[in-house]
């Protein structure tokens, strides 16, 4: 998570004012308004609809950040507590999904701050590891290997530049972002079949262009 | 896909792709949430959409944010046939139902009263206070029991390890439901579970994997004895796995 995202999510309130809400009044929009006006059982029923609508999505939100099942469930519940508190004064200025994302992100950042205490030794280890490449480069026996790697890198760069843009972007999303076909299709706004075709052709082109280049079975 | 298993070539290729993506996208701020939602809803002009797509390809953080937002937006439009309903007989909803009960407890909410008594009943209510208190205490006990059963539902995890060699046994008090959690060795869109046990044969269709790759189903009023659960699924449908387990009564013996 970058600084800007962290800064924008550092506070869930004050909730948005009235204005450009979601188009139309669907069941969630109706539930939000019912929650804000009703009392007792009606209010609980309205919130339950919101809860059941977003429970799985929020659980996945935290699971995607590498949290254990227990932690993901715990943070999902914490997020819903935040939603419950903020919903009363939510005024539809921004889209509901954006507001939910902000509440979930805030919950996650708070959790990360709590979890970060006592982990400074991990940072020290990372710094030691960062010093190592310099030491390796200064070792004469390893310089030839570095030259070979640089040559290979030049070849790769040229081969990558030759790939058509769509194909290259699908490959980037697959390898660099580690996305599933369905997710690539969503980001690129193309069908899953097109994603598969792009990746298949990219793989073929690179294997033809670069001698001895081999993808793993699960790479693309 | 695990990046640790990648060859050096693929690692180098990934680095080149990332560098080129950053170069193509140029420098700029990360996309705003509203901009990403506009992108998902197709509200951006073609030029802005293409530029944003390049920024997404260059930034895993922005892409992850887009996928999170897409997931939240999709949840809103997905069918929710059980929303707000008290349907504990649907295995697929069990986890959400139990979580909702847990959430209510965390919020410290008492069960809501749907209607306030009319004013003219106030005198009568006062006269009946003792009776109401007695009844209230009884209702509260019933509700507490319901919460306990749903939220702290007993679970039995049946994994690969328990498939053939071991037959896990669980002490289950009479009348308590049991949640069976399976970890199928093969991913299918939907599964069918056939449960056979003492005096029971039950088929549950339409089971789906949760986000942890598990399938849950509810077994209510399970008598003591040995059970066999056959899980099938995928296209064409085939047997995925068979699990065995045993239910015993606390302090009792298996029938």
Please give the Cα distance from B216 to A95 (Å, whole number).
33
Does the model's ipTM exceed the 0.90 cut? no
Intervals of CATH 1.10.1740.10 along chain A: 3-116
B5 band by pLDDT with thresholds 50, 70 and 90 = low
Instruction: Give the tens place of pLDDT for each residue, B41-79.
Output: 999 999 999 999 999 999 999 999 999 999 999 998 887
B124 band by pLDDT with thresholds 50, 70 and 90 = confident
Instruction: Give the tens place of pLDDT for each residue, B128-155.
Output: 887 767 666 655 555 544 434 344 577 8
The answer to whether the beta carbons of residues B231 and B242 sit under 8 Å apart is: yes
According to CATH, the superfamily of the domain at B154-248 is Immunoglobulins (2.60.40.10)
Domain covering A144-208, topology: Arc Repressor Mutant, subunit A (1.10.10)
Which residues of chain B does A203 touch, with a Cβ-Cβ cutoff of 8 Å? Answer: none
Which of B84, B97, B151 would you mutate first to test chain A, the one with the most A CBs within 10 A? Answer: B84
Which residues of chain A does B98 touch, with a Cβ-Cβ cutoff of 8 Å? Answer: none
Q: What is the CATH number of domain A3-116?
A: 1.10.1740.10
Residue ranges of A 37-96 with Cβ closer than 8 A to chain B: 40-45, 48-49, 51-61, 63-64, 69, 73, 76-77, 80-81, 84, 94-96
The answer to whether the beta carbons of residues A165 and A151 sit under 8 Å apart is: no
Assign B20 to helix, strand or coil.
helix
Please give the Cα distance from B169 to B209 (Å, whole number).
24
Give me the mean pLDDT over the B23-47 stretch. Answer: 90
The answer to whether the beta carbons of residues B58 and B24 sit under 8 Å apart is: yes
Please give the Cα distance from B42 to A39 (Å, whole number).
38
Which of B3, B8, B16, B69 would you mutate first to test chain A, the one with the most A CBs within 10 A? Answer: B16
Give me the mean pLDDT over the A192-212 stretch. Answer: 91
A97 band by pLDDT with thresholds 50, 70 and 90 = very high
Measured between CA atoms, the residue of chain B closest to residue A171 is: B17
pLDDT for res B220: 73
Domain boundaries, chain B: 3-77, 90-107+126-152, 154-248
Intervals of CATH 1.10.10.10 along chain A: 144-208
SS3 per-residue string spanning chain A? CCHHHHHHCCCCCCCCCCCCCCCCCCHHHHHHHHHHHCCHHHHHHHHHHHHHHHHHHHHHHHHCCCCCHHHHHHHHHHHHHHHHHHHCCCCCCCCHHHHHHHHHHHHHHHHHHHHHCCCHHHHHHHHHHHHHHHHHHCCHHHHHHHHHHHHHHHHHHHHHHHCCHHHHHHHHHHHCCCCCHHHHHHHHCCCHHHHHHHHHHHHHHHHHHCCCCCCCCCCC
The answer to whether the beta carbons of residues B12 and A153 sit under 8 Å apart is: yes
Which of B59, B68, B111, B153 would you mutate first to test chain A, the one with the most A CBs within 10 A? Answer: B68
Give me the mean pLDDT over the A7-24 stretch. Answer: 40
Q: Which residues contact B75 (CB under 8 A, 6 or more apart)?
A: A53, A54, A56, A57
Which residues of chain A does B106 touch, with a Cβ-Cβ cutoff of 8 Å? Answer: 77, 81
Assign B235 to helix, strand or coil.
coil
Partners of B170 in beta bridges: B247
A13 band by pLDDT with thresholds 50, 70 and 90 = very low
Question: B165 or A208: whose pLDDT is higher?
Answer: A208
pLDDT for res A197: 96
Question: At residue B116, does pLDDT exceed 70?
Answer: no
* Nearest to B111, CA basis, from B124, B100, B126: B100
Please give the Cα distance from A199 to A181 (Å, whole number).
9
Question: At residue B81, does pLDDT exceed 70?
Answer: no
pLDDT for res B164: 56
Question: A14 or B235: whose pLDDT is higher?
Answer: B235
| B181 inside 8 A of chain A by CB | no
CB contact under 8 A, B83 and A27: yes
Instruction: Give the tens place of pLDDT for each residue, A125-158.
Output: 444 444 444 444 445 555 666 777 778 778 888 9
Please give the Cα distance from B13 to A157 (Å, whole number).
8
Question: At residue A74, does pLDDT exceed 90?
Answer: yes
pLDDT for res B137: 60
**Most confidently modeled range among A7-11, A189-193, B30-34, B203-207:** A189-193
| B113 inside 8 A of chain A by CB | yes
Q: Which DSSP category does B213 fall into?
A: S
Q: What are phi and psi of B26, to 5 degrees?
A: 75, 180
Question: At residue A36, does pLDDT exceed 50?
Answer: yes
**Sheet strand arrangement including B169-171:** B169-171, B238-248, B225-233, B191-197, B200-207
Tokens of B240: 């995925």
| A103 inside 8 A of chain B by CB | no
pTM of the predicted model over 0.90: no
Tokens of A60: 């996945």
Give me the mean pLDDT over the B196-211 stretch. Answer: 81
């Amino acid at each position: 998570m970058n600084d800007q995202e962290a800064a924008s999510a550092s506070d869930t309130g004050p909730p948005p004012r009235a204005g450009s809400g979601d188009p139309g009044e669907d069941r969630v929009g109706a539930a939000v308004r019912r929650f804000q006006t009703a009392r007792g059982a009606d209010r609980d029923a309205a919130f339950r609809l919101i809860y059941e609508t977003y429970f799985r999505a929020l659980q996945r939100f935290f699971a995607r950040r590498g949290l254990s099942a227990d932690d993901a469930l715990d943070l999902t519940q914490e997020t819903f507590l935040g939603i419950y508190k903020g919903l009363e004064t939510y005024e539809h200025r921004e889209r509901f999904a954006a507001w939910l994302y902000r509440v979930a992100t805030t919950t996650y950042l708070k959790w990360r701050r709590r979890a970060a205490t006592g982990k400074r030794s991990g940072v020290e280890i990372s710094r030691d590891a960062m010093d190592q490449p310099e030491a390796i480069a200064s070792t004469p026996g390893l310089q030839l290997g570095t030259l070979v790697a640089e040559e290979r890198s030049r070849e790769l760069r040229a081969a990558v530049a030759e790939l058509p843009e769509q194909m290259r972007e699908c490959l980037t999303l697959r390898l660099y972002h580690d996305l599933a076909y369905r997710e690539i299709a969503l980001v690129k706004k193309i069908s899953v079949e097109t994603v598969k075709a792009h990746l298949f052709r990219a793989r073929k082109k690179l294997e033809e262009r670069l001698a001895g280049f081999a993808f793993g079975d699960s790479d693309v | 896909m695990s990046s640790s298993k990648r060859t050096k070539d693929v690692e180098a290729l990934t680095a080149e792709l990332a560098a080129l993506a950053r170069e193509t996208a140029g420098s700029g701020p990360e996309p705003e949430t509203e901009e990403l939602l506009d992108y998902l809803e197709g509200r951006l002009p073609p030029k802005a959409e293409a530029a944003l797509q390049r920024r997404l390809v260059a930034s895993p953080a922005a892409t992850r944010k887009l996928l999170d937002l897409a997931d939240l937006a999709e949840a809103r439009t997905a069918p929710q046939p059980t929303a707000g309903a008290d349907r504990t007989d649907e295995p697929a909803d069990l986890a959400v139902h139990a979580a909702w009960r847990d959430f209510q407890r965390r919020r410290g909410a008492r069960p809501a009263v749907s209607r306030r008594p009319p004013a003219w009943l106030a005198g009568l209510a006062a006269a009946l206070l003792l009776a109401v208190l007695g009844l209230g205490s009884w209702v509260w006990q019933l509700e507490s029991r319901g919460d306990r059963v749903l939220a702290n539902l007993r679970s039995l995890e049946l994994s690969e390890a328990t498939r053939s060699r071991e037959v896990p046994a669980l002490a289950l008090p009479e009348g308590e439901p049991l949640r069976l959690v399976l970890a199928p060795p093969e991913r299918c869109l939907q599964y069918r579970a056939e449960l056979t046990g003492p005096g029971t044969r039950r088929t549950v269709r339409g089971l789906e994997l949760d986000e942890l790759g598990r399938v849950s189903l509810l077994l209510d009023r399970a008598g003591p004895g040995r059970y066999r659960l056959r899980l099938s699924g995928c296209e064409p449908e085939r047997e995925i796995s068979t699990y065995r387990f045993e239910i015993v009564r606390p302090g009792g013996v298996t029938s």
